Amino acid sequence: MEIDTGTTELLCSVRDGVALITLNRPEARNAMSPDLTEALRNQIKARGDDDAVGALLITGAGTAFCSGGDVKGMGGRGPRGQMSYEERLADLRWRQTHLTGALVAVRKPTIAALPGAAAGAGLAIALACDIRIAAKSAFCTTGYAKIGLSGDYGISWLLTRTIGPMRARELMFTSEKVGAERCEQIGLVNRVVDDAKLQEEAFAFAKSLAEGPRVALRHMKDNLDEALHIDYSLAHHREAERLVQSSRTEDHKEAVASFVEKRKPVFKGR
């Protein structure tokens, strides 16, 4: 099913429980434009709330994932250059909250498929997803130091929690281009696949998650998110609550029955 996103700069379809969201400005390496980012914000929220969707897969058209902000509109050249400091601050905070903030808040598995560059805010979008799958020719770079900026869209927080403070500082300070294989070595992406197989393998992976026990997966995300900032004792209590809740679902009963009957489970998401 094709979804009308309101712009050709963002494509969205829902198939086999997967919402495939494609940044579609290949001529600009999928740089973030006002139309693209507005549509992306809307689709993250809508597909995150859509009961027909079990997983979100975000990718880019052409040979890039997302090259970040449009540099040509920076340096006071764009419309935001006319804003006061307070206006610009409020505007950026709102845009961050409703893009990467909303993506982190989605209680379904989220996957980023990187056919090429993920740079700056584009890297932040990829980092806001649960899983990252990269083509062999892809690379990641923070990019901010090269344009005299300090970072936005939560990249410092996301990067630190993904690869640790030492690596995060190195990549932020240097804007180094990190190839796909090294990205996998340092934990920036989960796996690397052949360029020609990226979309196929990423969709198959997303589909496998969409077919999973959705209540249990939602509880897993809650447990894993909380593990970053609560103590072990509280984590025990929260895990126990969510496991008991999961045990009362139809999906759990189906999983047990399928195990006994030696067949693949068919989960209903309830």
Q: pLDDT tens, 229-261? A: 999 999 999 999 999 999 999 999 999 999 999
Alpha-carbon distance of 121 to 92, in angstroms, equals 12
Q: What is the mean pLDDT of residues 197-216?
A: 97
Q: Answer for the pair 100, 128: CB distance below 8 angstroms, yes or no.
A: yes
Alpha-carbon distance of 59 to 117, in angstroms, equals 11
Asked if pLDDT for residue 80 goes beyond 80, the answer is no
Asked if pLDDT for residue 73 goes beyond 80, the answer is no
**Predicted confidence band at 76 (pLDDT cuts at 50, 70, 90)?**
low
Structure tokens that stand for 88 in this block: 């610009």
**pLDDT at residue 82, rounded to an integer:** 77
In degrees to the nearest 10, what's the CA dihedral of 153, 156, 162, 166? 160
Asked if pLDDT for residue 45 goes beyond 80, the answer is yes
**Predicted confidence band at 141 (pLDDT cuts at 50, 70, 90)?**
very high
**More confident of the two residues 78 and 35:** 35
pLDDT digits (tens, 9 = 90+) for 143-178: 999 999 999 999 999 999 999 999 999 999 999 999
